[in-house]
Protein backbone atom coordinates (compact mmCIF):
# COMPACT_ATOMS: atom_id res chain seq x y z
CA UNK A 1 0.00 0.00 0.00
CA UNK A 2 1.33 3.41 -1.00
CA UNK A 3 1.62 5.71 1.99
CA UNK A 4 2.91 9.25 2.46
CA UNK A 5 3.36 10.16 6.11
CA UNK A 6 4.06 13.78 6.94
CA UNK A 7 5.68 15.29 10.01
CA UNK A 8 3.58 16.87 12.73
CA UNK A 9 2.18 20.35 13.18
CA UNK A 10 4.65 23.17 13.74
CA UNK A 11 4.43 26.59 15.39
CA UNK A 12 7.14 29.10 14.62
CA UNK A 13 7.82 32.82 14.87
CA UNK A 14 8.32 35.07 11.86
CA UNK A 15 11.91 34.97 10.65
CA UNK A 16 12.53 31.43 11.91
CA UNK A 17 13.45 28.52 9.65
CA UNK A 18 11.53 25.30 9.25
CA UNK A 19 11.78 22.01 7.39
CA UNK A 20 8.80 19.64 7.19
CA UNK A 21 8.99 16.10 5.87
CA UNK A 22 7.07 13.52 3.88
CA UNK A 23 8.08 9.85 4.09
CA UNK A 24 7.03 7.53 1.30
CA UNK A 25 6.51 3.79 1.65
CA UNK A 26 4.95 0.93 -0.26
CA UNK A 27 6.53 1.87 -3.59
CA UNK A 28 9.86 2.71 -5.21
CA UNK A 29 10.51 6.19 -3.82
CA UNK A 30 13.10 7.11 -6.43
CA UNK A 31 10.87 6.52 -9.46
CA UNK A 32 7.91 8.79 -8.73
CA UNK A 33 7.75 12.57 -8.50
CA UNK A 34 6.66 14.06 -5.16
CA UNK A 35 4.92 17.40 -5.01
CA UNK A 36 3.92 19.96 -2.40
CA UNK A 37 0.58 21.77 -2.23
CA UNK A 38 -0.34 24.70 0.00
CA UNK A 39 -3.79 25.34 1.43
CA UNK A 40 -4.15 28.56 3.35
CA UNK A 41 -6.91 28.70 6.00
CA UNK A 42 -10.32 28.48 4.36
CA UNK A 43 -8.81 28.70 0.88
CA UNK A 44 -8.11 26.51 -2.13
CA UNK A 45 -5.20 24.39 -3.26
CA UNK A 46 -1.98 25.90 -4.64
CA UNK A 47 0.65 23.89 -6.53
CA UNK A 48 4.08 24.73 -5.12
CA UNK A 49 6.49 22.42 -6.90
CA UNK A 50 7.69 18.88 -7.47
CA UNK A 51 10.87 16.85 -7.13
CA UNK A 52 12.05 13.61 -8.72
CA UNK A 53 13.94 11.82 -5.95
CA UNK A 54 15.86 9.70 -8.44
CA UNK A 55 17.96 12.62 -9.63
CA UNK A 56 16.65 15.56 -7.53
CA UNK A 57 15.27 17.32 -10.61
CA UNK A 58 13.05 20.03 -9.08
CA UNK A 59 10.42 22.33 -10.58
CA UNK A 60 8.84 25.27 -8.78
CA UNK A 61 5.79 27.38 -9.37
CA UNK A 62 6.94 30.98 -10.00
CA UNK A 63 4.80 31.95 -7.01
CA UNK A 64 6.99 29.87 -4.70
CA UNK A 65 10.39 30.00 -6.44
CA UNK A 66 12.90 31.50 -4.04
CA UNK A 67 10.44 31.30 -1.13
CA UNK A 68 10.86 27.61 -0.32
CA UNK A 69 13.28 24.78 -1.09
CA UNK A 70 12.15 21.27 -2.00
CA UNK A 71 14.59 18.40 -1.44
CA UNK A 72 14.59 14.63 -1.10
CA UNK A 73 16.80 11.94 0.42
CA UNK A 74 16.60 8.62 -1.39
CA UNK A 75 18.20 6.63 1.42
CA UNK A 76 15.36 7.38 3.82
CA UNK A 77 12.57 7.78 1.20
CA UNK A 78 11.78 11.25 2.48
CA UNK A 79 11.00 14.54 0.79
CA UNK A 80 11.27 17.91 2.48
CA UNK A 81 9.89 21.42 2.24
CA UNK A 82 12.14 24.07 3.76
CA UNK A 83 11.74 27.74 4.62
CA UNK A 84 14.76 29.88 5.46
CA UNK A 85 12.75 32.72 6.95
CA UNK A 86 9.06 32.24 7.69
CA UNK A 87 6.40 34.93 7.33
CA UNK A 88 2.98 35.09 8.94
CA UNK A 89 1.54 34.55 5.46
CA UNK A 90 3.16 31.08 5.37
CA UNK A 91 0.53 29.91 7.88
CA UNK A 92 -1.22 27.08 6.06
CA UNK A 93 -1.73 23.36 5.69
CA UNK A 94 0.92 21.79 3.48
CA UNK A 95 0.32 18.52 1.69
CA UNK A 96 2.79 16.29 -0.05
CA UNK A 97 1.48 14.11 -2.84
CA UNK A 98 2.88 11.56 -5.28
CA UNK A 99 2.90 12.39 -8.96
CA UNK A 100 4.60 14.58 -11.51
CA UNK A 101 1.34 15.49 -13.20
CA UNK A 102 -1.82 14.69 -11.24
CA UNK A 103 -1.56 13.59 -7.61
CA UNK A 104 -2.88 10.11 -6.92
CA UNK A 105 -1.66 9.65 -3.37
CA UNK A 106 -1.59 12.33 -0.68
CA UNK A 107 -0.05 12.76 2.74
CA UNK A 108 -2.23 13.69 5.69
CA UNK A 109 -0.99 17.29 5.71
CA UNK A 110 1.23 19.33 8.02
CA UNK A 111 -0.21 22.45 9.63
CA UNK A 112 2.32 25.26 9.87
CA UNK A 113 1.45 28.24 12.06
CA UNK A 114 3.65 31.33 12.00
CA UNK A 115 2.85 33.83 14.71
CA UNK A 116 4.72 36.21 16.92
Partner 1 sequence: EIVLTQSPGTLSLSPGERATLSCRASQSVSSSYLAWYQQKPGQAPRLLIYGASSRATGIPDRFSGSGSGTDFTLTISRLEPEDFAVYYCQQYGSSPWTFGQGTKAEIK
The correct pick among 41, 62, 66, 75 for binding partner 1 (CB under 8 A) is 62
Which residue in 114, 115, 116, 112 sits closest to 48, CA to CA? 112
Minimum CB separation of residue 38 from partner 1 in Å reads 10
Write down how long the chain is: 116
Contact status, residue 110 vs residue 8, Cβ threshold 8 Å: yes
If one asks whether residue 108 binds partner 1 (CB under 8 A), the answer comes out as yes
The correct pick among 59, 67, 73, 113 for binding partner 1 (CB under 8 A) is 59
If one asks whether residue 103 binds partner 1 (CB under 8 A), the answer comes out as yes
Amino acid sequence: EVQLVQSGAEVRKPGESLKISCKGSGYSFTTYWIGWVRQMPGKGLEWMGIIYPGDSDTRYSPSFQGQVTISAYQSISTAYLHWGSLKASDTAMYYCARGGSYFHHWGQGTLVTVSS
